[in-house]
Amino acid sequence: MTSPITTERVLLALVSIVFALMMLLFGFLFWFALPVFFNTETPVLSLIWQPEQGQYGILSMIAGSGLIGLMALTLAFPVAVGITGFCLFSRYQNIASWIRRMIRLMAGIPTVVYGLAAVFLLVPLLRETFRSCSGFCLLAAAVMVVLLILPVMVMMLDTHCRPLENQIRLASASMGFTDTQTVLYLVLPNSTKAMATAALLGFSRAIGDTILPLMLAGNAPQLTDSVFDSVRTLTAHIGLVLATENGSAAYNSLFAAGLLLLAMSVTVTLLIRKMEHAQFNARRGDAE
C-alpha cells in the first residue's frame, strides 16, 4: 500500500516552495520596476536626482555602486593573491593555519561593526590627511569593503590552490624550485580561472553591501571622478529612500534601482557558474 506521502513528493513540495518564493521575488521586482523604465516623463536613467524638482535619475547611483565595486576589487585582488600565496609557502605552514583561521573568523564579522569602527577611526583620519575631503567619501567606503570581501576571495583561491600545491610540491622541490618559485611560477598561473571566479565573487559582494556605503560614503547623489567625493550607491539609495519614503515617483525609482542590482548580481552569478563549469570540464579533461 503506497501512501500518497512519499519522500520524493515531500521533498518536491518543499523544493517548489523555494522555487515559488524566488519567482515571487523576481516577479515583484519586474512588475514594479518595468513601468518605471518605460515612463518617459520622469526618466529614471538620468543623472539628476532632485525629487523636489521632480527629477528621479538614478544613473549617478549606478556609477557609485560600480565605482565602489571596481575600486574595492582593484585594491582587494592583489592583497588576496598575496595572502593566498603566503598561506601556500611551505616554510610558513604553522602560521598559515592560524592565518586561515583568522580569515574564516573575519568572514563572520558583522558589517555594522566594520562600519562603526571605520566611522570613528578611518573617517577622521581621511579628513585630517586630505584637507579637501569631509571624511565621508568613496575611498573610506572602498577601503572597508576591501576588508569585507577579502575573506571571500582568499577562501575561494585557497580552496583551489591548496590541493594543487599539495600535488606538485614534492615534484617541484625535487627539481630545485623554492617554495616561492613554486607558488609564483607553477601554482598561480594554473589558477587563472579560480582567480577570475574569486574576482567576480568579490565584486558581487562589494556591490551588494548596504551598510558600509550607507555609513561611510556620504550619500550625495552626484557623479564624480574624485575618490574624495561623497557618492551614493544603489543599495544605500534603497535603504535611504525607503526608510525615508517620500512619494510614488521616488518610490518607483527604488524598484528600478532594485532591478538593476538584481540584473548585476544575476549576470555575475551566471559568469561565475560558466567559469566553474569550464574549469570542471578542463579538470576532467586533464584527468582522462
Partner 1 sequence: MKARLFHLWCLSCTTGLVVCLTFFIGFIINRGVPALSLSLFFGDADPIKGLLGLEPIWDGIWPACVGTMTVVACALSLALLPGLATGIWLATSAASRFKTILALCIDILAGIPSILMGLFGFTLILFLRNWLLPSANTCLLLSALCLAMLIIPYLAVATRTALQALPASLEITALSLGMTRWQTLRVVLLPQASKGIIGGIMLAMGRAAEDTAVIMLTGAVANAGLPGGVFSRYEALPFTIFYYSAQYQSNSELQMAFGAALTLLCLTAAIFSIAGLLQRTPPWRS
Partner 2 sequence: MRLKSGFMRLLVCGLCFIPAITQASDLDSFKGLSGTINIAGGTAHIPVMKQAAKAVMKDNSEIRITIAGGGSGVGAQQVAKGLVEIGNTGRPLKPSEAKHGLVSFPFAIDGVAVIINPANPIHALTQQQVADIYAGKITNWQSLGGDDRSINIFTRDEASGTRAVFVKKLLRNSPMVNHANVVPSNGAMKTAIARDPGALGYSSVGYIDNTVKAPALDNVQPTNDACASGEYPIVRKLYMNTKGEPQELVREFIDFIYSPQGAEYIRASGYIPVSNQ
Q: By the 8 A CB rule, do 33 and 255 touch?
A: yes
- Residues at the site binding partner 2, with contacts judged by CB under 8 A: 48-52, 123-124, 127, 131-132, 134-136, 218-222, 224, 229-230, 232, 240-241, 243-247, 250
Looking at the Cβ atoms of 104 and 226, the one nearer to partner 1 is 104
Of 117, 263, 278, 282, the one binding partner 1 (CB under 8 A) is 117
Q: Binds 52, which of partner 2, partner 1, none (CB < 5 to 8 A, cut-off by type)? A: partner 2
Q: How far is the CB of 57 from partner 1 (least distance, A)?
A: 19
Q: Binds 107, which of partner 1, partner 2, none (CB < 5 to 8 A, cut-off by type)? A: partner 1
Residues of this chain, 192-231, that bind partner 1 according to CB under 8 A:
204, 207-211, 215
30 lies in the site for partner 1, by CB under 8 A: no
Q: Taking phi first (over 0 means left), then psi (-120 to 50 degrees means alpha), and beta for anything else, what does residue 135 get?
A: left
- What is d(CA 206, CA 119) in angstroms, rounded to the nearest whole number? 18
Binding-residue pattern over the window 249 to 268 for partner 1, x denoting contact by CB under 8 A? -----xx--x--xx--xx-x
Exposed, middle or buried: residue 5 (CB in 10 Å: 0-12, 13-18, 19+)?
exposed
Looking at the Cβ atoms of 127 and 193, the one nearer to partner 2 is 127
The continuous run of DSSP H or E covering 184 comes out as none
Query: In 89-186, where does DSSP find H-type helix?
Result: 93-106, 111-129, 138-174, 179-181
112 lies in the site for partner 1, by CB under 8 A: yes
Looking at the Cβ atoms of 25 and 47, the one nearer to partner 2 is 47
| C-alpha cell at position 114 | 566594520
Q: How far is the CB of 46 from partner 2 (least distance, A)?
A: 13
Residues of this chain, 118-157, that bind partner 1 according to CB under 8 A:
118-121, 147, 150
Q: How far is the CB of 65 from partner 2 (least distance, A)?
A: 16
1 lies in the site for partner 1, by CB under 8 A: no
287 CB-near residues (< 8 Å, 6+ apart):
none
DSSP three-state, residue 281: helix
- Buried b / exposed e over 41-76, threshold 16 CB at 10 Å, is ebebeeebbeeeeebbbbbbbbbbbbbbbebbbebb
